A and B are shown apart, each in its own frame.
Chain A
Amino acid sequence: MIEITVNGKRRTIAAGATLGDLLRALDLDARWVVAELNGEPLEKGRMTSVVLASGDSLELVRAVAGG
């Protein structure tokens, strides 16, 4: 198991887990989620296949209503 930070909170995930695995575990539909890994935005196409590493800081963002 490894520890990462997701939206400011620590979280333990399996070593070798991808972002896609994490989104499934969080019950989030990858179609609607945008991710920033260690300050760098992840391109939509390759987002779910990115393998997470110990100490990674992940921001999960999405479009919400706004003016």
Chain B
Amino acid sequence: MQAPETRTARDPLVIAGRAISSRLLVGTGKFTSPEVMAEALDASGAEIVTVALRRVDLDSREPNLLEFIDRERYLLLPNTSGAESAEEAVRLARLARAAGLSDWIKLEVTPDPKWLLPDPVETLRAAEMLVKEGFTVLPYIGADPVLARRLEEAGAATVMPLGSPIGSSRGLKTRDAVAIIVEQAGVPVVVDAGLGAPSHAAEAMELGADAVLINTAIAVARDPVQMARGFRLAVEAGRAGYLAGAAGPRERAEASSPLTGFLGEGG
């Protein structure tokens, strides 16, 4: 028997040359309190956690999120949420880097407020600009295998196709397209949005996704800490299933027990 650490060490997620200890990435939004968030992050086992950048509200005092995230333990992944164009995304990324948050950036350009679907043209344009400026770019995209290829060619460190719209908890509705992305990709594939239950995460991992990013499903669960643990286990289970290689479905029954040597069988 190997210790779990050993197994993880043999199968690390590697993004831009950095070994990441967990294939579960977690978002920090929508938790009822920063304390609950911190506890859920701990239970998730995640190493990469996302944050957003927003204007300081000069008229009210809010707790500082970063006081609740141990930077020694977690790798901050600032996102460009709120950006509606490539230029806005680049502006946010530059701010995040200047602030010393990270030069890793979760690129999201979502001009449409109803579906929050990523704009492929602006996302590709922003990725090209950011790669040129030396950022490690993790783009959030629709599950489009051609776009995924184009982003990889542009130097993206991962591709992050959505499972279903952000926050919808509808699961891996893009399964077939994600399978093509996984088959083609030379960079890690992180299924990013819409996974609403641990079983959805396990499905994505079994399909061969390299990681998943979960926020809403953990944050709005009745017990976010327990749900974080559920996702951690599901991601590990799905990964093990993928590595093991499933036998695949058969048309007919196939006995698991021997079909000879029954008691009372004739001569």
Q: Which A residues form the contact surface with B (CB < 8 A)?
A: 6-7, 9, 26-29, 32-34, 36, 39, 41-44, 59-67
Contacts and interface: CB of A to CB of B under 8 A. Distances in A.
Which of A28, A60, A61 has the most CB atoms of chain B within a 10 A radius of its CB?
A: A61
Contacts of A60: 55-56, 58
Contacts of A39: 91
B179 interface: no
Contacts of A63: 51-53, 65-66, 76, 78, 99, 101
Given A62-B64, A67-B166, A41 B95 contact: yes
Nearest to A42: B98
Given A34-B99, A67-B79, A62 B53 contact: yes
B30 A65 contact: yes
A61 B64 CA distance: 12
Nearest to B53: A61
A48 B120 CA distance: 38
A34 B31 contact: no
A64 B50 contact: no
B27 A34 contact: no
Rank and list the top 8 A-B pairs by shortest CB-CB distance, nearest first: A66-B52, A67-B27, A67-B215, A41-B98, A34-B99, A32-B64, A65-B28, A60-B56
Interface string B100-129: 110000000000000000000000000000
Tier of interface size on chain B: 35 or more
Interface in B34-79: 34, 37, 50-56, 58, 61, 64-67, 76, 78-79
Interface of B: 27-31, 34, 37, 50-56, 58, 61, 64-67, 76, 78-79, 81, 91, 94-101, 166-167, 213, 215-216
Nearest to B97: A41
Given A9-B58, A26-B58, A64 B94 contact: no
Contacts of B50: 66-67
A33 B30 CA distance: 21
Contact of A44 (B29, B98, B215): B98
Given A34-B95, A36-B95, A42-B98, A65 B53 contact: no
A61 B29 contact: no
Contacts of B29: 65-67
Contacts of B99: 34, 41, 44, 61, 63
B57 to A, nearest CB: 8
